[in-house]
Amino acid sequence: MEKKEKDNEYVDFVVTARKYKTTLTTKYKNRKMWHKPFIGDVISHLPGTIVKLEVQQGQEVEAGQLLLIHQAMKMYNRVVAPISGTIIELGVQEGDKIPKDHLMVKIEPK
């Protein structure tokens, strides 16, 4: 009996000054928690293939500089540096098939 009560635990949420109660699904409870990525991390938002790499590890880059071309959903996406700094890690090579949320490039800020 106690487990069933725990599974049906109600939580409060407020929408436009009105308070409601609801239960949370198991899928929601077991979801991967979001965390803010490091400012120099370049992460893939879609699964795809690395078509072309324009930089090397140890190279200095400027904010907005082209890092690589990522093909996803039949489109070629230009991935640019979010900040100026030095590339300390390349997590991809040309031809790699990568999943969503894959760390492609790590940049150490200047």
Count of domains for the chain: 1
Quick check: is 9 in a domain?
A: no
For 2-53, what is each residue's pLDDT tens digit? 555 556 788 888 888 888 888 989 998 899 888 888 999 999 999 999 999 9
69: nearest Cα among 89, 52, 56, 45: 52
Distance between terminal CA atoms of the chain?
A: 58
Query: What is the CATH number for 81?
Result: 2.40.50.100
Quick check: is 23 in a domain?
A: no
Quick check: is 21 in a domain?
A: no
Quick check: is 63 in a domain?
A: yes
Quick check: is 25 in a domain?
A: no
Q: In the chain, at which residue ranges do the beta strands (DSSP E only) sit?
A: 10-15, 18-23, 41-43, 48-53, 60-61, 66-72, 75-80, 85-90, 97-98, 103-109
pLDDT of res. 97: 98
Q: What domain range is 96 assigned to?
A: 41-109
For 43-88, what is each residue's pLDDT tens digit? 999 999 999 999 999 999 999 999 999 999 999 999 999 999 999 9
